[in-house]
Amino acid sequence: MGLLKIARMGHPVLFQRAETVMDPGAPAIRQLVADMLETMEDAPGVGLAAPQVHVSLRLFVYRVPESRAGGDAVVPPSVLINPEIEPVGDEIMLCTEGCLSIPGMRGTVPRAATVRYRGVDCDGREVSGIASGLLANVLQHEYDHLDGILYPMRLRDFTSFGYVEEFAKLEGASR
Ligand code: NI
C-alpha cells in the first residue's frame, strides 16, 4: 500500500504492449488501482498507466481536477480497465503534454478532438462515454502507454519538445 515507484523513459516496460486484465475485481488489482490513484494525486498528475508503475497490464487511472479543467468538465479520480478508445469524427487538436515518466519535459502532439471510450471498473461495471478537451487528451495519452507508446513518439514538430524550465524562461522573456 502507498506510493509506487514510477518507471522513467529508458525502462523497457514502457515500450511493451500491456496484457489484458483477466479479473478486474481481484484483490491485487484493487490494491494496484488504489495505489496508482494515490501515486497520481501525489505526483501530481492527471493520468497514470499501469506500465508506468512497472505493471504491464491494460489499465490506467485519470482525472481532470478543477485547477486544470479550464472550462471543461471536472472528472474525479477514476479507473479504466481493459479500455477501448476510438476517435469520433476526424477533427484533430494539438495538445501540449507532459508525462510522469519523462519528468521536466513537454511537447505538443496531435490528438483526436473527440473520442468514444469504454472499459470496466474494479466492480466489473462498464464505464463509457464520449470525451473532448483535456479528458480526451488524457485518455489518449494513457491509452498509448498500454501499447508502449510515449508522447514523444507522436511529435510532428520537434521545436515544441523540450524542458519545461527552458520554455518558461523563453515565455517569460517574450512578455
Ligand atoms: Ni504518460
Residues serving a catalytic function are 142
Residue 101 has pLDDT above 70, yes or no: yes
* Count of alpha carbons within 13 angstroms of residue 143, beta-carbon side: 20
Ligand 1 centre and the CA of 149: distance in Å?
Answer: 9
What three-state secondary structure class fits 159?
Answer: helix
Residue 174 has pLDDT above 90, yes or no: no
Q: What's the pLDDT score for residue 72?
A: 86
Q: What angle do CA 60, 105, 154 make, to 5 degrees?
A: 65
Summarised one tens digit per residue, pLDDT across range 130-154 is 999 999 999 999 999 999 999 999 9
Q: What's the pLDDT score for residue 1?
A: 64
Architecture of domain 12-173: Alpha-Beta Complex (3.90)
Identity of residue 99: C
Ligand 1 centre and the CA of 103: distance in Å?
Answer: 10
% pLDDT > 70, the chain: 99
Q: What's the pLDDT score for residue 175?
A: 62
Identity of residue 140: Q
Query: Phi and psi at residue 77, in whole multiples of 5°?
Result: -55, 125
Residue 145's alpha-carbon distances to 6, 27, 37, 72, 81, in angstroms, are 13, 23, 16, 24, 13
* Domain locations in the chain as residue ranges: 12-173
Q: What's the pLDDT score for residue 155?
A: 98
Q: What DSSP line would sit under 111-150, residue for residue?
A: EESEEEEEEE-TTS-EEEEEEEHHHHHHHHHHHHHHTT--
What three-state secondary structure class fits 107?
Answer: strand
Ligand 1 centre and the CA of 80: distance in Å?
Answer: 15
Summarised one tens digit per residue, pLDDT across range 11-50 is 999 999 999 999 999 999 999 999 999 999 999 999 999 9
Ligand 1 centre and the CA of 44: distance in Å?
Answer: 12
Residue 23's alpha-carbon distances to 66, 99, 101, 105, in angstroms, are 32, 28, 27, 35
Ligand 1 centre and the CA of 38: distance in Å?
Answer: 16
